[in-house]
Amino acid sequence: MSDTKDLSAISSVLKTKIPAEALPYISQYHSKTVVIKYSGHAMIEDHLQQSFAHDAVLLKRVGINPVIIHSGGPLRLTKGSRKLKSRTYLYKACV
């Protein structure tokens, strides 16, 4: 994930406003575990997969511990986890 975004088109006001608005939430959830459901089009469309992954990494970098679950959609998530050598847990749930 070394691809960097060109932020030159974003105004300096917006560059300061976004982190300022996010800071209370980052403080509130720092060192906490959050559960994120990954499903639907986010699992299928490439640009949404990238966006989701970047957001999950950002959460981890600011000290929030994301736990990602999916509801039995496409099992490409499992294949991707194997590729990254990360652990995957599948639970059969009654809903």
Would you say residue 1 lies in a domain? no
Would you say residue 67 lies in a domain? yes
82: left (phi over 0), alpha (psi -120 to 50) or beta: alpha
Would you say residue 90 lies in a domain? yes
Domain count, the chain: 1
Q: What is the pLDDT of residue 82?
A: 67
How do residues 8-59 score in pLDDT, each as one tens digit?
788 888 889 988 999 999 999 999 999 998 887 778 888 999 999 999 999 9
Q: What is the pLDDT of residue 1?
A: 44
Would you say residue 83 lies in a domain? yes
| Number of Cα atoms under 13 Å in the Cβ half of residue 18 | 6
Would you say residue 5 lies in a domain? no
Domain range holding 59? 34-95
